[in-house]
């Protein structure tokens, strides 16, 4: 029953919001008819007042005042109360029909104003009308209790109904506000997730492309230089180049396949994510590009979670890529230490760095350790630094990867020369110790790399 009543109430309110003037005129005419009928009622055996038209005029004035209840609810209450008190003092019987205009004014007062205003205007109105009913000559045959209790309850009813309506509207407004806030929050969360996923994919693609393309560039340049002087070495380098490009294609295919994969359990499984177990393959690829990498492991190796294993491999891969692209050194050192619940990784090179404060474009050529002849068979590299207008994202990407699993990363030049990347990762991923850097913050962090820093 209450549900049906609320449904009809909602429909009436919607119609009233759409056609307010029509509803107001209809209500005022209905109240005018009720008040006119009420002015003709008398107690049994009592004579009606001599002023037959006075009540109609008074009720007409009070009903006209109700037309302004939307903008002046206080004025409507005062005018209807004054007109009703005058009618009672003239001898008209105080009935609910005669109280119709003032009851409507009190209802709209409680609906459109706050609780304090309702008390300030509602309580005096009830008191005045109760006093007028108590001293009215038209109710001499009725006891004083009935003369006062009746008007009290009739006037209290619209005030209570108006307060309930106001509270219900406030509740509905709060529910709508919460729904809108939840919708905005859901959209913002979705945008944030999309941004985070886009940054993760960009970071993964950067690691794959930058590493393999840097090695391929170094191998192709070395092969071109030795094509005439050392055909056997050239053939070996070109074979390694084929392996480098094939590895790049496999990792790109795995990454893009992950984006295309659906939730179908029958879908083909993807290649496992790379980890530290692939370090020998990475060392071999760097060696074919002229970079000798030594790997030292201390502590008792322990199993790593897939996320930590992938992060560790990508950091080592990116650091060696930066050495291949930007450093004039022919050797790099990777130190892996299992200490307590942390995995410590250090990647360093001993040679001086030839880059300036900005990123570089590499022109790689082969040299031997004693000069440009290359007669020793050891592949060296000469990196020609050329300033370009933009910086890379290598250090920024490594730092973001470490922060994602709750680790730390530092990168900078060594006091004795060269460059060093140090990271401490938890053996099991945990909440990030610091909030992941946003793009502007990461850009600032990237600019903090000193001159000659490693950046891809």
Separation CA 212–CA 205 (nearest Å) = 11
pLDDT of residue 335 exceeding 90: yes
Q: What is the pLDDT of residue 443?
A: 34
Supply the angle between the helices 394-404 and 306-326 in degrees, to the nearest 10.
170
- Kindly report each contact of residues 51-59 with a partner whose C-beta sits within 8 Å and lies 24 or more positions away, as own/partner: 51/90, 51/91, 54/87, 54/90, 55/87, 55/90, 55/92, 55/98, 58/83, 58/84, 58/86, 58/87, 59/32, 59/35, 59/83, 59/87, 59/98, 59/101
The b/e string for 265-284 (b: 16+ C-beta within 10 A; e otherwise) is eeeeeeeebbbbebbeebbe
> What six digits make up the tokens of 289?
């590009």
Looking at residue 269, the DSSP 8-state letter turns out to be P
- Tell me the sheet residues that pair with 295: 334
What pTM did the predictor assign? 0.45
pLDDT (average), residues 336-347: 90
- What's the pLDDT tens digit per position in 177-213? 898 888 888 888 888 888 877 777 777 777 667 667 7
Helices (H), 51-99: 54-66, 73-89
Separation CA 174–CA 352 (nearest Å) = 65
Instruction: Rank 12-21, 163-172, 233-242, 358-367 by mean pLDDT and report only the highest.
Output: 163-172
User: 6 pLDDT band (50/70/90 cuts)?
Assistant: low
Strands (E), 142-254: none
- Tell me the sheet residues that pair with 421: 347, 411
pLDDT (average), residues 398-420: 87
User: 49 pLDDT band (50/70/90 cuts)?
Assistant: low
> What six digits make up the tokens of 163?
């307060």
Separation CA 113–CA 273 (nearest Å) = 65
């Amino acid at each position: 029953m209450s549900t049906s009543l609320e449904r009809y109430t909602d429909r009436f309110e919607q119609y009233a919001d759409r056609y307010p003037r029509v509803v107001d005129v209809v209500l005022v005419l209905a109240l005018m008819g009720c008040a006119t009928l009420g002015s003709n009622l008398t107690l049994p055996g009592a004579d009606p007042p001599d002023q037959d038209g006075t009540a109609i005029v008074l009720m007409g004035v009070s009903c006209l005042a109700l037309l302004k209840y939307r903008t002046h609810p206080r004025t409507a209450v005062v005018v209807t109360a004054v007109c009703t008190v005058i009618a009672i003092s003239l001898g008209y019987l105080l009935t609910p029909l005669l109280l119709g205009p003032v009851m409507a004014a009190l209802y709209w007062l409680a609906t459109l104003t706050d609780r304090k205003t309702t008390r300030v205007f509602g309580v005096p109105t009830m008191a005045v009308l109760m006093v007028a009913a108590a001293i009215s000559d038209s109710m001499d045959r009725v006891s004083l209790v009935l003369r006062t209790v009746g008007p009290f309850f009739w006037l209290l009813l619209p005030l209570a109904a108006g307060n309930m309506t106001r509270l219900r509207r406030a509740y509905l407004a709060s529910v709508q506000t919460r729904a809108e806030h939840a919708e905005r929050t859901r959209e913002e969360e979705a945008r944030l997730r999309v941004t985070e996923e886009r940054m993760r994919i960009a970071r993964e693609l950067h690691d794959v492309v930058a590493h393999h393309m840097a090695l391929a560039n170094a191998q192709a340049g070395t092969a071109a230089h030795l094509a005439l002087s050392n055909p056997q070495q050239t053939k070996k380098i070109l074979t390694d180049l084929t392996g480098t490009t094939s590895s790049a294609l496999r990792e790109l295919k795995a990454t893009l396949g992950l984006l295309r994969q659906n939730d179908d359990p029958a879908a083909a499984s993807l290649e496992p994510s790379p980890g530290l177990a692939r370090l020998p393959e990475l060392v071999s690829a760097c060696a074919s590009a002229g970079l000798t990498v030594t790997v030292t492991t201390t502590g008792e190796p322990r199993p790593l979670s897939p996320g930590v294993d992938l992060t560790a491999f990508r950091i080592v891969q990116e650091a060696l890529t930066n050495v291949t692209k930007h450093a004039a050194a022919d050797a790099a050192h990777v130190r892996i230490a299992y200490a307590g619940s942390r995995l410590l990784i250090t990647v360093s090179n001993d040679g001086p760095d030839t880059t300036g404060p900005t990123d570089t474009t590499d022109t790689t050529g082969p040299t031997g350790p004693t000069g440009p002849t290359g007669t020793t068979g050891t592949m060296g590299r000469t990196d020609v630094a050329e300033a370009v207008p933009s910086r890379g994202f290598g250090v920024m990407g490594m730092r973001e990867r470490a922060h994602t699993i709750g680790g730390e990363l530092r990168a900078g030049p060594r006091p004795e020369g060269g460059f060093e990347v140090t990271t401490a990762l938890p053996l099991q991923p945990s909440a990030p110790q610091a909030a992941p850097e946003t793009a502007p913050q990461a850009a600032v962090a990237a600019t903090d790399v000193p001159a000659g820093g490693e950046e891809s």
